[in-house]
Structure 1
């Protein structure tokens, strides 16, 4: 039985897992969760009691939470691209950066999205301001952190880069990465050029008009 991934192409967390799957050319069946696919939504609910996606289904086992899904893939469906290093100290650095991109970039950008989705102008402005404050802080921290190497942790593409790709992609839409962060801007450009993430971005283009803040005419 092939792997099944329930999610949505425009979801940053779904894209994070898609990047990992594409990096190792793993065969899987993608099932989009949404109003146009009620049968997929019903199946997803059976595998996701917490009502979160993405969820990976491997036979009788359901795996939730993106970082855990990617680690699970390496344990049970390993490919040539090792996304978590074997060395425990190096793996700790990768996991740390993975959490930073999820918690301090992805989640920070979400404040603006949630504010826009509310339909309330005050909440929209508050969400944008909160996102800008948090993102500016993390951009400043990431700039020297990324200096001197190609990827998030050294020169090998890892779990951390799977997280960084969609988080920086959408964060830059919410609060532009300014010219004062050339290292971070170059890193985001390298992520967009990576075949695995470029594929995930292309698959989601159809949904850009639905971005609640208005998608920029780039990327």
Structure 2
């Protein structure tokens, strides 16, 4: 049986795992998790305590959490040192950036989205303001970091985490002109073939973005 990834095309963390699979040119089947596929929902709910996707199934192995899935792909289904380097110190640096994008970019982005899910007509302006302040701090840190990280034409754990996080973060709180490196890098990421595939596959779902999807990207 080939690899199976359970998730949804509009999910940022599903993107994260998909980008790794596309970059590794892995043979896999994508299983959409929605009301029309109860067996896929059941597989996801059986994997972890909260029933969240993405979930990767490889024979008897069932893994949840996108970073763990990428670690597994790197070890079993990708060329050596492609997604995560074998050098221990370089790998530590990549894992730090992975947590940066999940916890300091995607998390406050999700906070904004959650406010619109909670009450689309009257989202909590204070909570949204706090989340956007966090994003500004993260944008500023990344702007400085990018002095030392040239845009790559291949995919690593960093690109897997950064592309979906920055894609959606810029939708809820646009990356301003005072962050030119970050703006250029986001554009570069969206043109990488594995990322561009995710962008296109998610396009039909844009009307469902709770705060409203911008007419770009």
Q: TM-score range by the shorter chain?
A: over 0.9
Structure 1: which 5+ residue stretches go unaligned? none
User: Secondary structure of 1:23's match?
Assistant: helix
Contact 1:118 / 1:124 at 8 angstroms: preserved in 2?
Answer: no
1:85 is matched with: 85
Residue correspondences, number? 217
> Among 181, 186, 197, which residue is 1:199 paired with?
197
Cα distance per residue 1:52-101 (max 9 Å; x no partner): 11010110111111111101111111236711111111111111001000
Deviation at 1:21, TM superposition (A): 0.3
Contact 1:116 / 1:127 at 8 angstroms: preserved in 2?
Answer: no
Contact 2:20 / 2:155 at 8 angstroms: preserved in 1?
Answer: no
Deviation at 1:46, TM superposition (A): 2.6
User: Secondary structure of 1:129's match?
Assistant: helix
| Aligned counterparts of 1:16 and 1:164: Cα–Cα separation in 2 | 8
| Aligned counterparts of 2:15 and 2:127: Cα–Cα separation in 1 | 23
> Among 208, 213, 216, which residue is 1:215 paired with?
213
Deviation at 1:121, TM superposition (A): 4.5
Q: What TM-score do you get using the length of structure 1 for normalisation?
A: 0.93
1:172 is matched with: 170
Contact 2:153 / 2:192 at 8 angstroms: preserved in 1?
Answer: no
Cα distance 1:57–1:7, how it changes in 2: closer, same or farther (>3 A)?
same
Cα distance per residue 1:148-167 (max 9 Å; x no partner): 4324xx88631011000000
| Aligned counterparts of 1:132 and 1:149: Cα–Cα separation in 2 | 24
User: Secondary structure of 2:50's match?
Assistant: coil
Deviation at 1:146, TM superposition (A): 0.7
Deviation at 1:124, TM superposition (A): 3.9
Q: How does 1:61-100 map to 2 (within 5 A)?
A: 61-79=61-79, 82-100=82-100
Which 4+ residue blocks in structure 1 deviate beyond 6 angstroms?
none
| Aligned counterparts of 2:94 and 2:159: Cα–Cα separation in 1 | 9
Q: What RMSD in Å do the two structures reach over aligned CA positions?
A: 1.7
Contact 2:24 / 2:77 at 8 angstroms: preserved in 1?
Answer: no
Q: What TM-score do you get using the length of structure 2 for normalisation?
A: 0.94
